[in-house]
Structure 1
Amino acid sequence: MNRFLQQIINIFLFALSISFTYSQSLDFIYYPVDAGLISGQLKSITHTSDGIIWGATDNGILRFDGKKVDLINHTLPSHYIKSFTHLKDGRVLIVHDLGIGILSSNYDEYSIESFIDGSTNRSDQTKIHYPKSIYVQNDSTFWIGEDSSIVYYQLGQPIKRYTLHFKSQSPHYVRTVLFEIDGFNNPWVFSYNVGIFKYDNQKDIFTKVSLPQKLSNISWVEKVSFKTFWVGGEEGVFEMEVDRQGNIVNWTQVTTIEGVSSGKKIGDHQMIIGTWSDGAYFIDFSNSTRIQHPIDLQGVKDILSLDYQKELGWWIGGTESIGLLKKVPFQWVDLVSNHVLIEAAKETRKGNVIISEGDSLRQLEWLENRWKQTFVYHFKERVRSFIEYNGKVYIGTYEGQLYSTSYNQNSFTKVEGIKMKGAVVSFFIDEENHLWCSGEYQNGVFKVDQNDNAQHIQGDALNGVQVIKGINNGTFYLGGDKRHCLLQKYNYTNQKFEKVNVVFPREVEENIVVWDLLIKKDVIYLATSDGCFYFSSKSTQEKILLSELLPVGLDANTSFKAIEMTDDGALWLASFKGLYRVKNDEAQLFDKTNGLPSNAIKIQGLSKDSDGRLWIATEKGLVVATESRDLDKKTKAPEISMVILNADGSETLVSDFTEKIPYQSDVELKFNTQKFPTSNISYQYRMLSSDTVWVNLDKVDQLSFLNLMNGSYTLEVRATLKGYQSSDISTMKFEVKTPFYKAPAFYVILVLLLAVLIFFIFRQHNKNLIEKGKRLEHLVEIRAKEITSQKTKIMEQQQEIYQKKQKIIEAEKSIAEADLKNAQLREEKLQEMLEQKNKHLTVVTLNIVEKNNFMHTLKKQLKDIEGQYPDVASPMKHLYRTIEKSDKTDKDWEEFQHYFEGVHQNFNQHLKEKHPSLTAHDLRHCALIRLNLSLIECANLLGISQDSIKTSRYRLKKKLALSAEENLQDYILAFK
């Protein structure tokens, strides 16, 4: 048997070692704890005020603390456990085959004791026989259900049994008889397979009542008001109303779900129903449209027990599983199928919401207290965004096109003149009733008027605009993907966009992008790829210093894709982790484990409608969040425990923190919030004695410190459960012992010993000094003689050094005279070379003059011949061109330039650098002026007349930007 029990525990622990999965249905999400219990084991589940979950099995009591499970099977006379019932003081009555036990639990400590004795001998009328259930009427009065009888028990009194003369037995030997007391203090008995009985106080008997409608296999009863019960069985759930005399005055069927095994009330007109073989259902009969929706429990079909744990959810027990069902703050809006990619969702008119599912738009309207689909816009392209403008729906596609259609029509008109790079990502309608739209990779933005005329507004600062947001019919801003022009504001006066110079409070990534904007009450929020920042729109400073949104529970550098604010003042931020809700400087994170279809929320995928609902578009579905104070929940403050890790591998639990911990101890701190699933809990800690910064311990519930030094320590820990605000801070103070060699008294004794030692050392030192003094006097005499001798030698060496220095000075003087002579010789040689170059320059200049004179004479003679013989005028033109070409291609000027540069080095280069507009002809003219040639000489060299020379010099003076008073020749001659 022990081996068999160990196998049960191993199976349960194996299931717990697997990462928790979850499933979602309607407004609930299910977290299974275990799927490996042996069939037929689990009968009932409950919880105690410390958060521990208890299970009744045929092999003992299961204890689950959120992380591990223990099997308790040796504390009661029988390990066949049937059910649990709570006492007002928090203790739990345990029904087992051989009596009733009582359980007290306080986190890691618990006790189980016998409360009412039982017996297997039915002839023993002093004890109960194989009980299945117990009902607590008050602190001292109890009703106990057996398989064919009812026991009335008062503390200190003999039991009283009422035999019903039938066998009431359920398939799992649980809940054979159920009890309730109405508001008139009348007891009622609900038998599994017999019917309903009322108590006749005068006759002291139970009599069966006649029901207006058949109901068999009664498995669940719950008192819902003063005189009303919900009763569940094979034919469904019925509402039963009774009067003071014990008559049934109203019998109404609430749901027709068959095979009801258990249930729990949620509100006045809602319930969760479990069945024997068809899973669980959510029932809502608050209006004429009754909701009867199955809950996805990951294949669990046989529901034996439901237990509600405040602020956590409903524990659901099957014969082979335990799981937690939690209500989520999001309502699914899937009209086609689950896991649909939603591109966008927003209210276009009050009570009218349109959602984009790729190539179709679905129009929803709030009718009969729920969203109903009223129209589907079938579109030929994939839709990215949309907006209502001038009574029409304007649709932006992934191909960068813009279309419009009237409401409830599938006739689409393309807006001409708009073709964007990438998808149309953002719209805004300004106060002049213009529609603005931007593209994902578009250069600039588009402005559309009421006649669908599109204007493309471009600019470097308008590249990469990702979002256009503003006040309705008012100021609007552009958010982009360039750090130097991240935000721009539209100026209606000059019809231009103006850059908003923002300064970040910290270093941000170079490629930061504004994915979304929000303007609320003069505060502008920027949801960026590197955090959320905000500033006042009333700021008049040239540079606006941004503030960063950093509430408790939100890390810096988080990338945000969308931002919105609900009417309760809460900010909602979509990140790659999920959805954050920020209120009162506290952040709550919601993700798939809290009811979102996907953690991947679309960029600008948050939208608030006129009734305050928040629409959330994700990659796998659409959900709606409604404003609710229930969201302002804090995580329970964690319990902190400490164990000392001993050298032999054992652990010692620290229970009394008034005692000091041994010096250099290795300790392990464990945190517990008694919340499930533990994978959704993260912890932060800080040790105030060494640091004030919170350190994250994501999904880790323990912390180790090695070799703790002496001193006082204060540890602070806080926990965060997904979907909840961070907890209050839990504090643990402890002190580590100071070893004797670190105690003050030890240092006092050590100082005294050192003082005595120093005294004796000093005394001995003085003796040694006297002896050393005598030896030193003798050494001084000897050393004085040696110093005198050394001084004499030094003087001789100094005289020798002086003589050597004189010789060096004379040698340096001779070298200097030789260098001077060499310099004079080089100068003479350079002068000779300059004179030679001047001669060459003169020769070249004369050659050019002679050649030009010859060409001019030749040209004049040809003119004379042309005058005498007009018939040769045409051939003469060819000769003139040849002569002119000869002037331009003559190599003499190149030779002139060569010798000129030799004499006046870099003259042309410096002149060209200072006056880049000078032509080659201008530079040649300047060179001739630099040679100080006359007008006639320059004219002959350049082959032009003196008047042309004057004109050329006038133009040259203007190019050199000389004033009228300045002389051109003086400027050229002085130029270097």
Structure 2
Amino acid sequence: MSHLYAFTKVNDYFMEVWTSHQGLPHNSVNAITQTDDGYLWFATWEGVARYNGLSFTLFSRDEQKGIVDAGVRTLTASENNRLWVGGARGGVTVRQSFSWFPQTLAQGLVNHVFVDHQRNLWIAVEGEGVFFRPFLSDNEYGPEKKVLNIATYRLAQFEKGSVFAATKQGVYKLSGNSSEHISLPGLPSDTRANYISFDHAGNLLIASVLGAWRYDGVEVKRYRNELSNEVITLIEEDDEGRIWFGTIDKGIARLSLKQLDFINTDNGLPNNRVLSWFQDAEGSIWVGTNGGVLRLRSAPFMSVNKFDGLLGEFTRTVLPISGGRFLVGTSEGLSIVDGGVAKPSSASFLSQQSVLSLAPSTSGKIYVGTQRSGLYEWQNGGLTPRLSVESGLPSNEVRAILEDSVGRLWVGTVNGVVLVTRDGKTKLINQANSNLPDDYVIAISEDQRGRIWFGTAEGVALYDRLNNIEVVDISVYEGAQYVFGFYIEPGFVWMATDRGLLRYDVLKKRIDGVGKPAGLPIDKIFQVVYDHLGSFWLTSNRGIWKVGYVEAHRVASGNLQTIDFEHFGEADGMGSDQVNGGSTPAAASTKGGYMAFATAKGLSIIKPTSLKQLYQYRLPVVLEQIDADGKLVNPDETPELGPGINRLRIKFAGLSYIMSQRIQYQTKLTGFEEEWNYQGNQTIAEYTNLPPGKYEFRVSARYPYGAWNDSNVTYHFEILPFWWQRLEVQVIVLLLIIVLISSMIIWRVNALKRRQIYLAEQIDLKTQELREQSELYEHQSREDPLTALSNRRAFDEKVRGDFILAYPSLSKLNLAIIDIDHFKQVNDRFSHLVGDEVIKLVADYLNESIGEPNQVARWGGEEFTVLIHGTQEEAREICQTLLNGIAQLECPQLENKFNLTVSIGYANALGCQDYQTLLKRADQALYAAKEKGRNRVEEFDEFRMYG
């Protein structure tokens, strides 16, 4: 059956148009070509447009590139990925990969640039002729010479033969310095030839202002008499051997099997003036006109519509029948589709009858459900009424039909289901007499256990062998309600619903789904069809969605969160994105591997294996643009990038023009990434803050479900380091750091040793200072600050110690207390400062007069104490001496107005229990001296004191 859907006429191509609205810089497309890397190039009057399948990139006037004027007339692709550009003002330049090599200007508008098999350059110049430039080296040519002095438009060469020229005065054969004119029979010798090319057999094809011709090297023959008076702008042969003719005002024509078909503005061409033609590596035909460019291609889907004989375009149902044909029900009748051509299925069928459903029978007949006339039987072109309202149907609107495995007929209508048993009896099943969830029955199917499943507008139910109807609650998944179709397999029932694809687990009696929560962008699915190649095809109002069969099970089982999908629509050759539902079957598959879908504009047919073949196509991948920190980089000339690159952006593209938007990518930056990085449809890889080093960027592409192509597109580059990041600098710096650290360690060790010595010295010094300070504090704590005599504390300690030592012979220890007489008068009359001087005067005298082991101390205020070792008589003598001596002292501050005298009381320690007793006795003696008139010495006398 593979031959049945081959294209039979030019209108069967899937057509797409690009104009300035879709990115072309100008609507006049003068030339089209494809370079080795896979890019398509379009010459316009506003520059050269490069196309990658998704977007155009413009190359306009640029003297550095050699495009001296925006107007580009011709493009030629040559070996080693070279593109020759010729245009206005004599501009000639060649692009190779990312580099441009301007050539010497030609002498006028360049109509064509041609590179012969010896790599020599031929240039056809408007109004001047043909110029030859010998090859010297890559992209370099010698001085030109003129080889033909006639305005020339096109040059061509077959293999290693002669070069031919299409000129204002016909076709010329060029050889060395000579030229030979080729005569066209029946035409004036100066008839203008617009275009020449060669077919696969080496015949020269000639397009002239008076038709098209073929020259086999011996004779010239005309193509088709109906073209004899047409201005033919171009002539080319495609890969299938069909000849294409461009005209000046009739569009493009294709000659195939002696049949001439035209494409013009009436059936898709943007403008009837054809300027250029090209067939790309994928077999698509590109036609350049004055109003844009048309692409003709073999789309994945073929659409059969009313132009192909279909009765009406709004297709409702489709069923495979014998001979690889399809029986198709539309809103206007029943048709048979055979080999892409449709015809009415029955001459007797009512015109304008809408067919809603189809179903096969074991007898070979086909059941046909209509919208207004009930159920029919079709066989070999004949239609026979079977059931209607008059014969038992609750409604003539039949949306679902099934003949089950035991020969029963089930007819689903909008008012319930009618069961017709094998003996012809009928039974109505509806909400009123059963558990049927709704009377509006859309789908009927049978499972492996012989149970009948009903899909309705309010849910789903099943009819078992015991004639019981069980309702399955599908609303548990996203509130599902409508069931439009079934796909039943052992253990599971798949349902197309208004909330996605649902799966019923027969054993667990559980509903799960594959819908929007799993990533599907739509809710309402009309049909689910399995292609036996591992995919479900889901139809909807927004096209067809293809999902993996295993992935659908994994999502329904909760083992996968989201599901990948492919989307198909009008851009893939379908008649309409609206794939119809609400009746069954609205989609079907054949044993030959074809699948057919009912759409709002005809029947769309596809063979999924053709997609698989397309997905296995090894996509050419190119690097489109590289920029480092916003500056464009030519990878052919710049393997090294400067230091400090913060952001590197690499743009790439897979160059396929059939389903470009579906191409998937993965990238890997060796030296930075260990694994491939999946990019999806993203065509830009971006890296930030890459460290200095050597890298290799690789990119690979594929179609969904296809194999990744072996990536031979690489970009080797190195990010240079700053001077301080260089290895030799880092080694030197490391050595310096080691030396510095070693020096610092040695210095530190020595410093610590010096510090240790210093600290030891400081400790000794501080210890000495503390000792001295302590001694000072000790001394200050025992010395009277005014007189430098021992204070009371020191005197107490002295008396206590001497008392203990003298205890066996206390009679030789005496204590005297001395008080300056009338000292208050000194302070009052002469001031406290004079009083302090008097105290120091007395103190100095006492200190000089008392020697060891005796001790003198300031007791407080104007009182002094003296510890005297010796007998009582000796003590009295000392006290008397002190009394007399003090009376002789002179104090200038007293100005002889005050007589300095003292009172002294002393006591012997004999009989004292402790030294406090001795102090008390001396104090009592002093008191006695003051009582007796002062300026005297009194001895303690116990009997006299207490008698």
Give TM-score, length-normalised by structure 1: 0.55
Q: CA deviation at 1:89?
A: 0.8
Query: 2:538 — aligned with what?
Result: 573
Aligned to 1:543, which of 491, 508, 521? 508
The answer as to whether partners of 1:315 and 1:324 remain within 8 angstroms in 2 is yes
Other structure's SS at 2:596 match: strand
Give yes or no for contact 1:37–1:320 (8 Å, CA) kept in 2: no
Amino-acid identity (%): 15
1:468 and 2:455 aligned: no
Q: Structure 1 residues 133, 290: closer, same or farther in 2, change over 3 A?
A: closer
Rate the CA distance shift 1:617–1:260 in 2: closer, same or farther, 3 A: farther
Return 674-683 or 218-227, whichever deviates more: 674-683
Give the deviation of 1:660 after TM superposition: 12
1:618: Cα distance to partner? 0.7
Pair 1:454 & 2:445 matched: no
In 1, Cα distance between equivalents of 2:184 and 2:345: 47
Q: Deviation at 1:231? A: 4.1
Look up the match of 2:200.
225
- Cα distance between partner residues in 2 of 1:336 and 1:268: 24
User: Which residue does 1:595 correspond to in 2?
Assistant: 573
Q: Is the 8 A contact 1:378 1:410 kept in 2?
A: no
Per-residue deviation, residues 903-929 of structure 1 (Å, max 9, x unmatched): xxxxxxxxxxxxxxxxxxxxxxxxxxx
Which of residues 479, 487, 490 in structure 2 aligns to 1:510?
A: 479
Q: Which amino acid aligns with 2:595?
A: L
Which residue does the alignment assign to 2:400?
426
CA distance in structure 1 between the partners assigned to 2:623 and 2:293 by the alignment:
25
Decide whether aligned partners of structure 1 residues 684 and 559 sit closer, same or farther in structure 2, where only a CA change above 3 A counts: farther
Picking from 28, 31, 37, the partner of 1:44 is 31
Look up the match of 1:346.
319
Matched AA of 2:155: L
Three-state SS of the structure 2 residue aligned to 1:431 is coil
Shift of 1:704: 9.1
1:81 paired residue number:
72
Q: Write 1 or 2 for the structure with the bigger share of helix.
A: 1
Write the deviation string for residues 381-423 of structure 1: whole angstroms up to 9, x where unpaired: 5332234555655332345933446654577564355545795
Select which of 60, 63, 74 maps to 1:71.
Answer: 60
Encode CA deviations 1:833-880: one digit per residue, 9 max, x unaligned. xxxxxxxxxxxxxxxxxxxxxxxxxxxxxxxxxxxxxxxxxxxxxxxx
State whether residues 351 and 365 of structure 1, in contact with CA within 8 Å, keep that contact through their aligned partners in structure 2: yes
From 106, 121, 135, give the equivalent of 1:118: 106
Match of 2:598 among 617, 620, 625: 617
Q: Following the alignment from structure 1 to structure 2, what is the Cα–Cα distance between the partners of residues 714 and 134? A: 36
Tell me which amino acid in the other structure corresponds to 1:385.
Answer: S
Contact 2:366 / 2:378 at 8 angstroms: preserved in 1?
A: yes
Task: Provide, for residues 23-71 of structure 1, a one-character-per-residue CA deviation record: whole Å limited to 9, x for no partner.
Answer: x953222131415989896532334345554443456544556245342
What amino acid does structure 2 have at the position aligned with 1:31? Answer: V
Q: Does 1:279 align with 2:265?
A: no
How far the C-alpha of 1:601 sits from its partner, in A, is 0.2
Which among 402, 412, 419 is matched to residue 375 of structure 2? Answer: 402
Pair 1:330-2:301 in alignment: yes
Q: State the match for 2:838 in structure 1.
A: none
What CA distance in whole angstroms lies between the structure 2 residues aligned with 1:197 and 1:490? 84
- Residue aligning to 2:113: 134
TM-aligned CA deviation for residue 155 of structure 1:
1.7
Query: Contact 2:278 / 2:285 at 8 angstroms: preserved in 1?
Result: yes
8 A Cα contact 2:37 2:620, kept in partner: no
How far off is 1:228 after superposition? 3.7
Structure 2 CA distance for aligned equivalents of residues 735 and 549 of structure 1: 48
CA distance in 2, matches of 1:518, 1:68: 47
Instruction: Give the superposition deviation at 1:118.
Output: 3.0
State the shift of 1:682 in Å.
8.2
Match of 2:157 in 1: 180
- Cα offset for 1:225? 2.0
Which blocks of at least 5 consecutive residues in structure 2 are unaligned? 1-9, 137-141, 551-563, 726-733, 735-740, 742-947
Task: Give yes or no for the alignment of 1:360 onto 2:333.
Answer: yes
Deviation at 1:133, TM superposition (A): 1.9
CA contact (8 A) 1:27 1:332 kept: no
Residue by residue over 1:560-600, the C-alpha shift from the partner in whole angstroms, topping out at 9 and shown as x without a partner, is: 32233457666433234312345798854221222222211
The 1-side partners of 2:91 and 2:263 are apart by 38
**What does residue 302 of structure 1 align with?**
273
| 1:189 counterpart letter in structure 2 | F
CA distance in 1, matches of 2:254, 2:60: 32
Secondary structure, aligned partner of 2:587: strand
The question of 1:92 aligning with 2:83 is answered yes
Q: What CA distance in whole angstroms lies between the structure 2 residues aligned with 1:707 and 1:563? A: 49
Q: Relative to 1, partners in 2 of residues 1:697 and 1:651: Cα closer, same or farther, differing over 3 Å?
A: farther
Q: Flag structure 1 segments of 5+ consecutive residues without an equivalent.
A: 1-23, 121-129, 170-175, 750-976
Change in CA separation of 1:556 and 1:476 when aligned onto 2, cut-off 3 Å: farther
In the alignment, the residues of structure 1 paired with residue 602 and residue 422 of structure 2 have an alpha-carbon distance, to the nearest angstrom, of 34
Q: Say if 1:715 and 1:47 are closer, same or farther in 2 by CA, change over 3 A.
A: closer
Give yes or no for contact 1:227–1:241 (8 Å, CA) kept in 2.
no
One-letter code aligned to 1:138: H
Number of positions where the alignment pairs a residue of Structure 1 with one of Structure 2 = 672
Change (3 A) 1:403 1:693: farther
CA contact 1:404–1:414 (8 Å) conserved in 2: no
Does residue 437 (structure 1) correspond to residue 401 (structure 2)? The answer is: no
Retained in 2: the 8 A contact 1:28–1:328? yes
Give the Cα separation in 2 of the matches to 1:354 and 1:266.
34
Q: Secondary structure at the match of 1:30?
A: strand
Match of 2:12 in 1: 26
Are 2:271 and 2:290, in contact at CA under 8 Å, matched by a contact in 1?
Answer: no
What SS does structure 2 have at the residue aligned with 1:446?
strand
Match of 1:778 in 2: none
**CA shift digits 1:752-789 (9 cap, x unpaired):** xxxxxxxxxxxxxxxxxxxxxxxxxxxxxxxxxxxxxx
Q: What are the Cα deviations for residues 294-332 of structure 1, in whole angstroms up to 9, with x where unaligned?
A: 574463222211233334844432235345444312223
CA distance in structure 1 between the partners assigned to 2:307 and 2:404 by the alignment = 35
In the alignment, residue 191 of structure 1 is paired with which amino acid?
A
Contact 2:387 2:393 in 1 (8 A): no
User: Matches of 1:181 and 1:53 in 2, distance apart?
Assistant: 23
After superposition, the Cα gap between the structure-2 partners of 1:630 and 1:61, relative to the gap in structure 1 and judged at 3 Å, is same
Give the structure 1 partner of residue 746 of structure 2: none
Residues 1:608 and 2:589 are matched in the alignment: yes
Cα distance in structure 2, aligned partners of 1:715 and 1:559: 43
The equivalent residue for 1:319 is 290
Residue number in structure 2 paired with 1:560: 525
In 1, distance between residues paired with 2:99 and 2:586? 49
Cα pair distance change 1:103/1:425, threshold 3 Å:
farther
1:191 deviation in Å? 2.4
Query: In the aligned structure 1, how far is the partner of 2:305 from the partner of 2:241?
Result: 24
Q: Could you tell me which amino acid in structure 2 is paired with residue 26 of structure 1?
A: D
Q: What per-residue deviation string (whole Å, max 9, x for no partner) do you get for residues 322-379 of structure 1?
A: 454443122232225999321123334435533223142234445xx85445645324
Would the alpha carbon gap of residues 52 and 612 (structure 1) be closer, same or farther in structure 2, given more than 3 Å must change? closer
Letter in 1 for 2:355: V
Task: Output the amino acid matched with 1:446.
Answer: V
| Cα pair distance change 1:561/1:727, threshold 3 Å | farther
